[in-house]
């Protein structure tokens, strides 16, 4: 097969491969010959793609490493390191690796959540007012539940996965040490007229925490890892639901009703709004965001049955915007070669590369 080399005007991406879902079959096209020195997906973890009823893992040459489909009675949570399956009735949580191996079973009346950690799963109590941590390899729980006076709305790991930051419906933000089983600090972000943490993320360097909270005004706030307030900026939005928040090397981004708003990570200035004008009356339901080592941005905004996929240069100018007939799209970067981008949609997975980085 011959890989496609056509590049749209003004863009600098070349598609290397596409894996399409057709029923229960995977149809591959544009596959290049690969080698250990130049794999299609040069990453330390498998390429992870999720659909409402199944999860797939691909190796560095885009060979299928593992695939599984879930029944209507099964719920699951997954990331690049594996997945956990639990059921609408019962207390068993089965923990699997990305290769499909069953590692452990944890028994608890709780809801697991995979958060991109090779070591931990988070556990929420049924009322979402308690949080615990489970070792993915053994299924053992690390200490008792952290019982809270309010419902947890968002959580992310920090400090090399030795701590978790979580926000709550009463507007409070807390950092908790997994190792020492104690609260490190607690803050109350700007809340406007409605005290609630709607979303949070930890940046790629693990040095700061980005939080969207409040209403009228809704604000994006950056804290240091020690809880020091660095900046706080009104987003201009006012969603009353959970918000997707993204943090990268130089930017942060938060979901709005119409798209994404981008912030300068250093000073909190709004640098760009990505509002593709998707179908009238359709609210944004999914966003993804990734920044390469050279500072180029790839982002997706989904609403209704369509998704806009953006490629921005280092100055935030649009190099390309493509509208795809898919209700969601997830952008991922290979961690050892940040010019390699994966785009997962309802139809399949494509792998692209910055043209200036091509051999």
Q: Would you state the pLDDT for residue 66?
A: 93
Beta-bridge partner residues of 192: 215
Q: Would you state the pLDDT for residue 337?
A: 59
Mean pLDDT of 235-242: 81
Quick one: which H or E segment has residue 76?
A: strand 74-79
Q: Please, are residues 31 and 3 in contact by the beta-carbon 8 Å criterion?
A: yes
Q: Would you state the pLDDT for residue 34?
A: 62
- Residue 9 reports pLDDT greater than 60: no
pTM for the whole structure = 0.86
Q: How confident is the model at residue 298 (pLDDT cuts 50, 70, 90)?
A: very high
Q: DSSP letters along 118-176, please? A: SSEEEEEETTS-EEEEEETTT--B-SS-EE-SS-EEEEEEETTTTEEEEEETTS-EEEE
Q: Would you state the pLDDT for residue 8?
A: 43
Q: Using DSSP, state whether 357 is helix, strand or coil.
A: helix
Q: How confident is the model at residue 237 (pLDDT cuts 50, 70, 90)?
A: confident
Q: Would you state the pLDDT for residue 33?
A: 57
Buried-exposed string 315-351: b where 16+ CB fall within 10 A, e elsewhere: eeeebbbbebebbbbbbbbbeebbbbbbbbbbebbbb
- Residue 1 reports pLDDT greater than 60: no
Q: Would you state the pLDDT for residue 339?
A: 78
Q: Would you state the pLDDT for residue 4?
A: 28
Q: Please, are residues 251 and 297 in contact by the beta-carbon 8 Å criterion?
A: yes
Q: Would you state the pLDDT for residue 36?
A: 64
pLDDT in tens, 117-133: 899 999 988 777 788 89
Q: Would you state the pLDDT for residue 2?
A: 22
Q: How confident is the model at residue 42 (pLDDT cuts 50, 70, 90)?
A: confident
Q: How confident is the model at residue 359 (pLDDT cuts 50, 70, 90)?
A: very low
pLDDT in tens, 163-173: 889 898 888 89
pLDDT averaged over every residue in the chain: 85
**How many other C-beta atoms can be found within 10 angstroms of the C-beta atom of residue 32?**
17
Mean pLDDT of 314-327: 90
Mean pLDDT of 248-271: 93
pLDDT in tens, 73-114: 999 999 999 999 998 777 899 999 999 999 999 998 888 999
Radius of gyration of the chain (CA): 20
Q: Highest mean pLDDT range out of 34-48, 132-146, 271-285, 345-359?
A: 132-146
- Residue 311 reports pLDDT greater than 60: yes
pLDDT in tens, 134-189: 999 999 998 888 887 788 888 888 878 888 898 988 888 999 888 888 889 999 87
Q: DSSP letters along 43-62, please? A: -SS-EEEEETTEEEEE-TTS
């Amino acid at each position: 097969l011959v890989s496609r080399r056509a590049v749209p005007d003004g863009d600098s991406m070349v598609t290397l491969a596409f894996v399409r879902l057709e029923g229960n079959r995977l149809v591959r096209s544009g596959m290049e010959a690969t080698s250990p020195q130049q794999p299609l997906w040069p990453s330390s973890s498998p390429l992870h793609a999720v659909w409402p009823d199944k999860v797939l893992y691909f190796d560095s040459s885009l060979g299928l490493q593992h695939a599984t489909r879930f029944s209507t009675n099964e719920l699951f949570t997954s990331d690049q390191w594996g997945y956990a399956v639990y059921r609408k009735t019962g207390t068993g949580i089965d923990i699997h690796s990305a290769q499909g191996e069953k590692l452990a079973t944890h028994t608890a009346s709780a809801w697991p959540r995979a958060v991109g950690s090779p070591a931990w799963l988070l556990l929420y109590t049924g009322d979402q007012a308690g949080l615990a941590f489970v070792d993915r390899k053994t299924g053992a729980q690390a200490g008792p539940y952290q019982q809270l006076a309010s419902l947890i709305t968002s959580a992310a790991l920090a400090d090399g996965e030795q701590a978790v930051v979580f926000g709550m419906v009463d507007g409070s933000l807390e950092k908790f040490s997994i190792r020492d089983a104690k609260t490190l600090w607690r803050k109350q972000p700007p809340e406007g007229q409605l005290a609630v943490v709607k979303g949070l993320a930890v940046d790629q360097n693990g040095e700061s925490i980005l939080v969207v909270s409040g209403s009228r005004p809704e604000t994006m706030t950056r804290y240091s890892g020690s809880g020091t307030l660095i900046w706080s900026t009104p987003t201009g939005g006012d969603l009353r639901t959970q918000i997707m928040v993204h943090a990268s090397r130089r930017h942060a981004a938060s979901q709005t009703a119409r798209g994404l708003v981008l912030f300068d990570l250093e000073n909190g200035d709004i640098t760009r709004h990505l509002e593709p004008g998707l179908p009238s009356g359709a609210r944004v339901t999914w966003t993804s965001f990734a920044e390469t080592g050279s500072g180029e941005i790839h982002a997706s905004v989904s609403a209704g049955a369509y998704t806009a996929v953006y490629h921005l240069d280092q100055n935030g100018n649009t190099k390309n915007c493509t509208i795809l007939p898919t209700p969601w799209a997830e952008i991922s970067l290979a961690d050892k070669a940040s010019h390699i981008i994966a785009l997962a949609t309802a139809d399949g997975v494509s792998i692209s590369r910055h043209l200036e980085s091509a051999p």
